[in-house]
């Protein structure tokens, strides 16, 4: 059996008035959101699979602090290849009335607002010139859909397959991997092969924010303005991972070798590989709870030169087209830092820090066989966030996050020092009126606000273009209320 399993109390029901203060705060933001601008639903999704609760007869709270976020028991269960070490692990131990598949979607209402956007001076008249304006959108909507199957093929061989669709119904594989667990009967030797989430201590696939501006970690996806590096620390990647952990998963490590194509199917753009390294250690702090800290480093390369063929271009255009998968002139980039998951009783802190640096060739989108502009340097920056969750009860959690990114060195001389800087603020709550082994339902309310200096917000809301004046900070805000459910 896995260590650390304890009998959890049945979640208490939330008194009707308990959410009034937070609801009032969110309602105030909805009514007066024009004071500071707002954004669309994120493409970044969160994951939970109640099929495991159905299979083992456990409540959702056995594996989750607030689903889809994992507690330590959930981490141990996942690290052990979705196995508890008993006869229930067999793939045939399943009530035939249920399949080991979870469906998840979030019907919602949301409002998005973005200022400092280039819009026509006279609506519908392209010759009227562009002016600085605000774009506001609102209405009822759907999130994307996840259809997730995961479990064991046989003892110590586990799998996960997650076809995911955006809100318009276009499907892709968010993950698809096989994992060989406990090689040589050793928990320190596990190999994962396929497309999977990076072993981030703070998971972007399991976090508790859903809006266009709050539903992603800005630090995970940031690149400087004008940079050609395509990489997101929160994006699932294609490759192979060696991972190990202690019996209780207090100590963990991972080493991954990945195709340098940002998790996209097909051969990568170049013939290089990326590497991701993580290590974390947890310790018990008495009544405060379990505390975990970790470090990470991602080192990669991206091509700057492609073999081309004029035959691929339009006839008579006088142009040529790059041939996919022929990238050379690789130039490096890296992301490194630390993160944590800390508890003070009912209050959970998620601190995160990142230092990033991209080669001068990537930062200026310059081919390696072309001289760099005079005075060009590598682009570097520092960023981080602090996210907090306050668990009023097991069925009601208050959410907050503050995020910051600051450029420390721009690539080109004369570039405004603050260009690309980001500040992000998010508040909200999740109430779980239903937390059964068969299904889960959360009433989610959130207000998120970002300020991006002189650049397009990462939510891509508004018109998706930078402001007319590069020194302007683009404020983008999201207000979202919806029912997040999994079955």
- The DSSP result for 293-306, as a single string, is EEEEEEEEEE--B-
Query: What pLDDT shows up at residue 140?
Result: 97
Residues of the chain with pLDDT under 50: 1-47
Query: CA quadruple 123, 125, 126, 128: dihedral positive or negative?
Result: negative
Residue 320 token pair: 């040529």
How wide is the angle at C-alpha 221 spanned by C-alphas 431 and 108, nearest 5°?
30
Cα distance between residue 390 and residue 378, in whole Å:
40
Closest CA to 282 of 181, 179, 196, 201: 201
Query: What pLDDT shows up at residue 470?
Result: 86
228 CB-near residues (< 8 Å, 6+ apart): 302, 304, 362, 365
Cα distance between residue 142 and residue 102, in whole Å:
17
Query: What pLDDT shows up at residue 75?
Result: 67
Residue 213 token pair: 């501006």
Residue 475 token pair: 């404020």
Query: What pLDDT shows up at residue 400?
Result: 97
Residue 200 token pair: 């981030």
Cα distance between residue 2 and residue 133, in whole Å:
57
Query: What pLDDT shows up at residue 32?
Result: 37
Q: Is 439 helix (H, G, I), strand (E, B) or coil?
A: coil
- pTM (2 d.p.): 0.82
What's the CATH fold of domain 5-486?
Porin (2.40.160)
């Amino acid at each position: 059996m896995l260590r650390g399993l304890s009998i959890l109390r049945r979640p208490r029901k939330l008194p009707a008035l308990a959410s009034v203060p937070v609801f009032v705060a969110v309602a105030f933001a909805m009514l007066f959101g024009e004071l500071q601008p707002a954004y669309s639903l994120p493409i970044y999704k969160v994951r939970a699979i109640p099929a495991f609760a159905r299979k083992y007869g456990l409540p959702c709270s056995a594996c989750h602090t607030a689903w889809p976020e994992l507690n330590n028991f959930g981490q141990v269960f996942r690290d052990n290849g979705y196995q508890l070490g008993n006869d229930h692990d067999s793939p045939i131990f399943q009530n035939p009335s249920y399949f080991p598949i979870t469906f998840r979607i979030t019907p919602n209402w949301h409002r998005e607002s973005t200022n400092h956007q280039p819009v026509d001076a006279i609506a519908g008249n392209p010759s009227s010139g562009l002016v600085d304006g605000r774009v506001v959108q609102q209405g009822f909507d759907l999130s994307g859909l996840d259809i997730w199957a995961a479990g064991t093929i046989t003892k110590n061989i586990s799998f996960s397959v997650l076809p995911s669709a955006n809100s318009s119904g276009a499907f892709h594989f968010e993950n698809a991997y096989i994992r060989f667990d406990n090689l040589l009967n050793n928990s320190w030797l596990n190999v994962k092969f396929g497309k999977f989430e990076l072993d981030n201590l703070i998971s972007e696939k399991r976090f508790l924010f859903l809006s266009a501006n709050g539903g992603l970690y800005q630090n995970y996806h940031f690149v400087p303005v004008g940079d050609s590096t395509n990489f997101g620390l929160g994006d699932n990647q294609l490759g192979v991972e060696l991972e190990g952990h202690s019996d209780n998963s207090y100590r963990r490590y991972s080493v991954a070798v990945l195709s340098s194509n940002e998790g996209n199917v097909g051969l990568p753009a170049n013939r290089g590989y990326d590497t991701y390294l993580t290590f974390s250690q947890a310790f018990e702090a008495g009544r405060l709870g379990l505390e975990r800290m970790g470090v990470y480093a991602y080192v990669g390369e991206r091509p700057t030169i492609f073999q081309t063929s004029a035959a691929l271009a339009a006839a008579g255009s006088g142009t040529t087209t790059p041939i996919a998968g022929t990238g050379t002139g690789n130039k490096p980039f890296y992301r490194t830092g630390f993160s944590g998951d800390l508890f003070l009783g009912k209050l959970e802190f998620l601190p995160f820090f990142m230092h990033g640096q991209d080669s001068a060739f990537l930062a200026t989108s310059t081919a390696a066989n072309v001289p760099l502009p005079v005075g060009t340097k590598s682009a570097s920056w520092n960023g981080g966030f602090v996210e907090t969750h306050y668990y009023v009860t097991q069925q009601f959690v208050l959410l907050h996050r503050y995020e910051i990114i600051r450029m420390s060195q721009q690539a080109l001389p004369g570039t405004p020092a603050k260009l690309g800087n980001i500040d992000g603020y998010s508040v909200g709550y999740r109430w779980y009126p239903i937390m059964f082994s068969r299904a889960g339902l959360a009433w989610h309310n959130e207000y998120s606000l970002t300020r991006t200096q002189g650049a397009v917000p990462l939510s891509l809301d508004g018109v998706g273009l930078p402001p007319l004046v590069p020194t302007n900070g683009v404020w983008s805000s999201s207000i979202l209320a919806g029912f997040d459910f999994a079955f």
